């Protein structure tokens, strides 16, 4: 118990440290989307406990079709208590009918009243409201070797295949003359050093970096007045986008490597300033602009931890992919050697229809030496990278879709070259592979791309022993782009989800189509993969590094073999038996593959369909921290010691209630000194779609009004939520906040004695069903008094 308490202190201290930083300093912290540090290797990670914070009074509002953002902002500006509304980004009505803006005025002092006002403007239908969140900048602290410092022919083994290309068959398509020449790829990132000789050395029509935009400028710090967009995405102060661009399309250079699709034309969209700042509304604007500028593929290797498909960044990229038919690729995200566990795919990769890409380690590690670059065999080569985040999403969506090389990758850097690791680099090599696929097959829809890459991917073995890596970590496996380009078999699904045991899908059916010109004999067998335990069974807390389990599921596949004539198709039925002998309290996630051997004469093709399930009733999992870790403390206490029962907080008197003011009490042990706020924690153990933090009355003050109470959906009497609640799409981390006595409706709890309850909606829970909520009642009660301070 004490160990768990210390963990909570550690996490909340880190989050507290982040909250107390300036917004700009917070953004200077590294982002999530690249991986593990190695000598001479670039890397970018995010410290454990760091979270993305909302920008003050800044929102994205999505409107129903037919509404206009201009009319919405005009109506909001006319509201009492609103002094100023500054538009940040107005998005395309056909793709994402939304606008981001900052609000100033007295109404912002009651955020929940402001939110209700924004939702209920007369004759305007609002679909969603989200806060705009800060996104920390990607970094790569590894060594960069400048172009000028390298010998004209610095590669020792010029005839040696480039390992990342060799692993996914890109080299074979290069040998056939394919380079992505007909494709435009939009890169949403930090910008690019287009002056780099391996990136063409120019910007504009006829150049490799042919189009793009700088959405932020040099000095953006979150304040909309510091946005200074322009037509040129050039930057050298961060460099992450230069690394990504080189993975896609580096031209021939003295190190002897090229990008996976050197014939494409790139559009780069700069979303980070030299001050290290970006935000979710900037990134959404970049995605939409990349689509409107005619990109055939969009790839994104920046974002934030999520695990949910419903966050604005994930929802926007999903919407763009669905409405435009543009395949959208995003890095699955990284963790610094553990820390996020299952259900943690980053946004926007967590979006429906977005291709989430995990990372596999390169089979050989490039190293710089006096004779240039040499390649050394890697013991971890070919295995899923430890930093690569896990799926599925909390909604149960299949993530990641598949993996590609992202560990120990040689690429361009501002003014030179570097070796880097992360899903940041698995995503762009996948985007480049799709461009090669387009060369062979022509343009394809996002669903067609996902399908052909998934069924031709190669399952990845477990790097720590026998068996295959869990499907929740590798998705369909490592892509094989040559096989995808020339496969004549079509399968009607990219993956099978069997759900949890409460909602277990009893049987899936899919079809196999033979689009070739000869009969094909198909043999279908079960390829097992390891399971993974998502949480600690003893206490329900997430495992930052999931526990690999040897227990595997079993499949019944009918038929087990079939011959399909050219142009014909056949149905296959699959049912699952979840693994036995696992502890359901650990939320074991299982999976495997329907392995399909396709024989045409002497030719044999290996195909597979991944599947996934949870061997537990997700709705029974108590998603909140145990009651002993639910407590409050004084905001000025750096150790965060829990306070005893019946302390009295003397809070600043609300402006609207000067009559509540009382003389401060200075000499009583149970009275907290005047003006010091209570601090409260909450810890969601495995994610929740909705978290409520509600206050209930124990006894009203004899010198104040009686509190107004109502019965909530759980049947409990309550004054309502703390200001700032309910919160939505919460991930699996501890957080804390201070309280002034204000409630979610903008009113204040009157003087009196109170308790609090924390409610979190369980996985797949029904908001209106009390049984679907995890509930913790605070073991200590407290008093509220208001004083002049």
Across the range 459-469, mean pLDDT stands at 95
54-133 and 627-787: same fold? no
Highest mean pLDDT pick, 56-60, 430-434, 636-640, 734-738: 430-434
CA–centroid distance for 556 within its chain: 34
Q: Which residues contact 556 (CB under 8 A, 6 or more apart)?
A: 574, 575, 576, 577
Fold of 488-620: Immunoglobulin-like (2.60.40)
Across the range 350-355, mean pLDDT stands at 97
User: pLDDT, tens digit, for every residue of 182-215?
Assistant: 999 999 999 999 999 999 999 999 999 999 999 9
Q: Is 719 helix (H, G, I), strand (E, B) or coil?
A: coil
Report the pLDDT value the prediction gives residue 153, as an integer from 0 to 100.
54
Instruction: Check pLDDT > 70 for residue 307.
Output: yes
User: pLDDT, tens digit, for every residue of 312-341?
Assistant: 999 999 999 999 999 999 999 988 555 688
Q: Are 128 and 63 in contact (CB under 8 A)?
A: no
Q: Token pair of 246, please?
A: 């080189």
Split at pLDDT 50, 70, 90, the class of 14 is very low
Q: Token pair of 229, please?
A: 């967009």
Instruction: Check pLDDT > 60 for residue 13.
Output: no
Q: Token pair of 327, please?
A: 């395949």
User: pLDDT, tens digit, for every residue of 512-565?
Assistant: 999 999 999 999 999 999 999 999 998 888 888 899 999 999 999 999 999 999
Instruction: Check pLDDT > 70 for residue 501.
Output: yes
Q: Token pair of 746, please?
A: 């903008």
CA distance 587 to 607: 29
Report the pLDDT value the prediction gives residue 209, as an integer from 0 to 100.
99
CATH code for residues 627-787: 2.60.40.4070
Report the pLDDT value the prediction gives residue 154, as an integer from 0 to 100.
56
CA distance 32 to 334: 5
Among 152-166, 460-474, 593-607, 628-642, the least confident range? 152-166
CB atoms within 10 A of CB 667: 5
Q: Are 423 and 332 in contact (CB under 8 A)?
A: yes
Report the pLDDT value the prediction gives residue 438, as an integer from 0 to 100.
99
| Class at the top of the CATH hierarchy for domain 180-474 | alpha beta
Per DSSP, the chain holds a count of helices (H) and strands (E) of 13, 40
Split at pLDDT 50, 70, 90, the class of 113 is confident
Across the range 74-78, mean pLDDT stands at 95
Split at pLDDT 50, 70, 90, the class of 46 is very low
Taking the domains of the chain in order of start, what are their residue ranges?
54-133, 180-474, 488-620, 627-787
The percent of residues in the chain predicted with pLDDT above 70, rounded, is: 90
| Class at the top of the CATH hierarchy for domain 54-133 | alpha beta
Report the pLDDT value the prediction gives residue 19, as an integer from 0 to 100.
30
- DSSP states of 278-290 as a string? -BHHHHHHHHHHH
Look up residue 69 and give its DSSP letter: H
Split at pLDDT 50, 70, 90, the class of 304 is confident
What value, to the nearest 5°, has the Cα angle with vertex 317 and ends 352 and 124? 100
Instruction: Check pLDDT > 80 for residue 152.
Output: no
Q: Is 679 helix (H, G, I), strand (E, B) or coil?
A: strand
List the one residue out of 270, 141, 134 whose CA is nearest residue 215.
270
Q: Which residues contact 584 (CB under 8 A, 6 or more apart)?
A: 501, 615, 616, 617
The percent of residues in the chain predicted with pLDDT above 90, rounded, is: 69
Instruction: Check pLDDT > 50 for residue 29.
Output: no
Q: Are 542 and 342 in contact (CB under 8 A)?
A: yes
Instruction: Check pLDDT > 50 for residue 17.
Output: no
Average pLDDT, the chain: 88
Instruction: Check pLDDT > 60 for residue 156.
Output: no
Instruction: Check pLDDT > 60 for residue 431.
Output: yes
Q: Which residues are catalytic, by number?
A: 189, 240, 424
Report the pLDDT value the prediction gives residue 745, as an integer from 0 to 100.
81
């Amino acid at each position: 118990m004490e160990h768990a308490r210390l963990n909570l202190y550690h996490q909340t201290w880190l989050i507290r440290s982040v909250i107390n930083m300036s917004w700009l300093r917070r953004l200077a912290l590294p982002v999530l989307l690249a991986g593990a540090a190695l000598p001479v290797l670039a890397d970018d990670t995010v410290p454990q406990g760091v979270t993305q914070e909302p920008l003050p009074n800044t929102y994205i509002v999505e409107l129903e079709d037919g509404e206009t953002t201009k009319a919405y902002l005009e109506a909001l500006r006319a509201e009492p208590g609103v002094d100023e509304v500054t538009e940040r980004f107005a998005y395309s009505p056909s793709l994402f009918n939304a606008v981001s803006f900052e609000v100033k005025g007295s109404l912002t002092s009651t955020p929940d009243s402001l939110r209700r006002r924004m939702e209920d403007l007369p004759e305007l239908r609002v679909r969603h409201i989200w806060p705009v969140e800060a996104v920390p900048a990607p970094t790569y602290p590894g060594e960069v070797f400048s172009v000028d410092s390298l010998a004209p022919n610095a590669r020792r083994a010029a005839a040696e295949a480039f390992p990342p290309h060799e692993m996914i068959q890109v080299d074979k398509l290069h040998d056939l003359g394919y380079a992505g020449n007909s494709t435009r790829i939009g890169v949403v990132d930090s910008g690019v050093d287009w002056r780099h000789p391996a990136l063409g050395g120019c910007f504009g029509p006829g150049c490799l970096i042919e189009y793009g935009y700088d959405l932020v400028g040099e000095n953006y710090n979150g304040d909309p007045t510091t946005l200074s967009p322009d037509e040129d995405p050039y930057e050298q102060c961060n460099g992450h986008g230069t690394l990504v661009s080189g993975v896609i399309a580096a031209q021939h250079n003295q190190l002897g490597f090229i990008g996976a699709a050197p014939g494409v034309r790139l559009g780069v969209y700069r979303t980070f300033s030299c001050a290290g700042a970006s935000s979710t509304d900037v990134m959404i604007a970049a995605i939409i602009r990349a689509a409107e500028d005619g990109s055939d593929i969009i790839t994104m290797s920046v974002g934030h931890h999520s695990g949910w498909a419903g966050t604005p960044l994930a929802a926007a990229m999903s919407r763009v992919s669905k409405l435009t038919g543009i395949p959208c690729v995003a890095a699955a995200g990284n963790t610094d050697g553990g820390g996020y566990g299952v259900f943690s795919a980053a946004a926007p990769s967590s979006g429906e229809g977005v291709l989430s890409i995990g990372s596999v380690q390169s089979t050989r590690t490039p190293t710089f030496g006096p004779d240039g670059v040499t390649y050394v065999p890697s013991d971890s080569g070919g295995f899923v990278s430890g930093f690569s985040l896990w799926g599925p999403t909390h909604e149960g969506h299949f993530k990641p879709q598949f993996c590609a090389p992202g560990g120990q990758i040689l690429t361009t850097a501002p003014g030179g070259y570097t070796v880097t690791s992360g899903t940041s680099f698995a995503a762009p090599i996948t985007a480049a592979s799709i461009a090669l696929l387009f060369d062979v097959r022509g343009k394809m829809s996002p669903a067609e791309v996902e399908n052909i890459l998934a069924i031709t991917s190669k399952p990845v073995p477990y790097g720590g022993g026998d068996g295959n890596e869990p499907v929740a970590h590798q998705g369909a496996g490592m892509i094989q782009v040559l096989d995808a380009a020339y496969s004549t078999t079509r399968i009607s699904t990219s993956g099978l989800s069997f759900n949890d045991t409460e909602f277990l899908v009893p049987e899936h059916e899919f079809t196999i189509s033979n689009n070739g010109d000869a009969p094909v004999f198909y043999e279908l067998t079960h390829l097992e993969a390891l399971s993974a335990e998502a949480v600690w069974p003893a206490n329900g807390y997430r495992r930052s590094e999931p526990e690999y389990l040897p227990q595997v599921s079993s499949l019944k596949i009918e038929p087990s073999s079939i011959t399909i004539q050219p142009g014909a198709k056949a149905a296959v039925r699959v049912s699952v038996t979840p693994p036995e002998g696992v502890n359901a309290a650990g939320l074991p996630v299982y999976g495997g593959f329907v392995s399909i051997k396709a024989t045409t004469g002497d030719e044999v093709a290996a195909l597979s369909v991944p599947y996934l399930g949870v061997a537990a009733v997700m709705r029974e999992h108590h998603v909140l921290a145990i009651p002993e870790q639910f407590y409050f403390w004084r905001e000025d206490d750096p150790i965060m010691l829990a306070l005893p029962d019946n302390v009295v907080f003397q809070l600043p008197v609300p402006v609207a209630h000067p009559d509540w003011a009382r003389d401060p009490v200075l000499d009583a042990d149970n009275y907290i000194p005047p003006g010091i706020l209570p601090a409260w924690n909450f810890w969601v153990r495995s994610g929740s779609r909705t978290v409520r933090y509600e206050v209930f009355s124990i006894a009203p003050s004899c010198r104040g009004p009686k509190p107004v109470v109502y019965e909530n959906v759980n049947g409990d009497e309550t004054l309502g939520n703390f200001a700032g609640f309910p919160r939505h799409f919460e991930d699996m981390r501890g957080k804390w906040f201070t309280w002034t006595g204000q409630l979610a409706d903008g009113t204040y709890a009157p003087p009196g004695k109170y308790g609090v309850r924390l409610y979190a909606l369980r996985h797949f829970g029904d908001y209106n069903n009390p049984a679907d909520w995890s509930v913790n009642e605070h073991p200590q009660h407290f008093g509220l008094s208001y004083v002049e301070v």
